[in-house]
Amino acid sequence: MATKRLWRWRGLSLQGIPCQGTLWQDNRPEALQALQRQRIIPLALRRCS
């Protein structure tokens, strides 16, 4: 069983509005996919310690 990790992200909405937040995902590729599903263009994605 994979352990979910907390990821902090910054990005842009499709309208170009800056946004940021956190999400729980198993790994970086899954975190990027989750942002894409929310129609967010990721600029930074870091794992929280």
Q: Where are the domains of the chain?
A: 5-47
Per DSSP, 12 falls in state E
For residue 34, which phi and psi values (nearest 5 degrees)?
-65, -40
Q: Is the pLDDT of residue 1 over 80?
A: no
- What pTM does this model have? 0.87
Identify residue 17 by its one-letter amino acid code: I
Residues in the chain: 49
What is the arithmetic mean of pLDDT over 6-15? 98
**Position 2 confidence tier, pLDDT thresholds 50, 70, 90:** confident
Distance CA 15, CA 26 (A): 28
What was the pLDDT predicted at 49? 79
Q: Is the pLDDT of residue 11 over 70?
A: yes
For residue 15, which phi and psi values (nearest 5 degrees)?
-85, 0
